[in-house]
Every structure is written in C-alpha cells, then in structure tokens.
C-alpha cells in the first residue's frame, strides 16, 4: 500500500487490513501522527499494528513515535546514514524492523 501513497508515506496495518494512512507531509513523524489519527477516528486498534514507510527513516524520531503509538513492527527500505541509530531505537522499544532495500518514495 505504501508504494501507492504520496510521500512521505506511513501506512499502519493490523490483522491483514490497512488501518491508517499518513501521506504528503514534510515529516515522517507527522505522517505517522496522521495515520494514528485516521485509525483512531475509525475506532481501530493501533496497538500491535505494523508500520510501513515508503522510504528510510532519517532519524530515530519516527521509530520513537511508532513505539509511543503501540506499533509492534516496522518495514522500511533502510539506507539512511543513521540506520544504526534507527535500529537502536527499534531495539530499545522491543520492535521488530525489516529493511527491504527498495524505496517507493514519490511526490
């Protein structure tokens, strides 16, 4: 789904369904806020959901935001010069994270 969403795209999924989409923002953190808001507006549970990003996380703040929302796992392309910092944030928050190596960044 993230492949088809305008960047900076954040997609929340749980139980094989998309529950929130945040798109078109200058910050992945704000896109995550919007995805969380959309899920909440529909009464959908975010806890233990998965977060997908169309491009890498340049800073750990996106991971910390996901953790504070209850996200359990993240899938993203990786490739940031700060990947180690992002990995550390996921580890600190007991979150699984998968790097795909494929970006879907689009404007």
Banded model confidence at residue 40, pLDDT cuts 50, 70, 90: very high
Kindly list the structural domains of the chain, giving each domain's residue range(s) and its CATH number in brackets, ordered by start. 2-99 (3.40.140.20)
Average pLDDT over residues 75-93: 95
Q: What pLDDT digit, counting tens, does each position of 86-98 carry? A: 999 999 999 999 9
Kindly write down the DSSP assignment for every residue of the chain, as one continuous string.
Answer: -GGGSPSS-EEEEETTEEEEEE-S-S-HHHHHHHHHHHHHHTT---TT-EEEESS--SSTHHHHHHHHHT--EEEE----TTHHHHHHHHHHTT-EEEE-S------
């Amino acid at each position: 789904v993230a492949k088809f969403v305008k960047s900076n795209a954040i997609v929340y999924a749980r139980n094989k369904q998309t529950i929130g989409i945040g798109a078109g923002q200058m910050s992945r953190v704000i896109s995550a806020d919007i995805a969380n808001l959309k899920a909440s507006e529909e009464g959908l549970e975010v806890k233990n959901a998965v977060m997908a990003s169309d491009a890498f996380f340049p800073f750990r703040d996106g991971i910390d935001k996901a953790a504070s929302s209850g996200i359990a796992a993240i899938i993203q392309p990786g490739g940031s010069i700060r990947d180690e910092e992002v990995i550390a944030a996921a580890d600190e928050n007991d979150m699984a994270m998968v790097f795909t190596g494929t970006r879907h960044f689009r404007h």
